[in-house]
Amino acid sequence: MEHPPAYVKIACGTTRRLLIGRFRRLPGEQPVWELTTTFAQSRQADPGESASIGELTGTFGPAATYEGCPQCSARSFVKCGKCQRLSCWTGAGWFSCGWCGDAGPVNDRIRSVSQAD
Ligand SMILES: [Zn+2]
Ligand SMILES: [Zn+2]
């Protein structure tokens, strides 16, 4: 049975626009979450989109089919160590947080994220 997708807020590190990322959980014992698409929050919500609140744990990464940030085309994402939120990320060794403006080197894997509220 397919696990329902999870929705997590992501800010664009370049434009600071608020986006929603949709994650799918890959089948398997260890939770692996893939970012499949990111869209502007103003778009019409999927049914049940706001119902999922909580913490996701596991391994996180962009899906092979992920088309990138709709704002700046960045192909991945990072979790800010300061505010704990997700921002899009180009994959370089450096990131800029779209939420709090913090910037710095990327040095760890994401282990948990909070879902959209
Ligand atoms: Zn972006
Ligand atoms: Zn931040």
Task: Identify which ligand lies nearest to the alpha carbon of 19.
Answer: 1
Ligand 2 centroid distance, CA of 83 (Å)? 4
Quick check: is 1 in a domain?
A: no
Ligand nearest to the CA of 100: 2
- Asked if residue 12 belongs to a domain, the reply is yes
User: Residues of the chain whose pLDDT is less than 70?
Assistant: 1-2, 42-53, 116-117
**pLDDT for residue 1:** 59
Helices and strands (H and E) in the chain: how many: 0, 10
Residue 98 in domain: yes
Detail the DSSP E strand segments found in the chain: 6-11, 18-25, 32-40, 55-57, 59-62, 76-79, 86-89, 94-96, 103-105, 112-114
| Tally of domains in the chain | 1
Ligand 2 centroid – CA 28 distance (Å): 31
The reply to whether 51 falls in a domain is: yes
Contacts with 37 (C-beta within 8 Å, 6 or more apart), sequence order = 21, 22, 66, 67
78 part of a folded domain: yes
For residue 85, the ligand closest to its alpha carbon is 2
- Output the pLDDT for position 45: 57
| Number of the ligand closest to the Cα of 70 | 1
What range defines the domain where residue 49 resides? Answer: 6-114
Give the per-residue pLDDT at 51.
Answer: 45
* Structure tokens given for 35: 């970012």
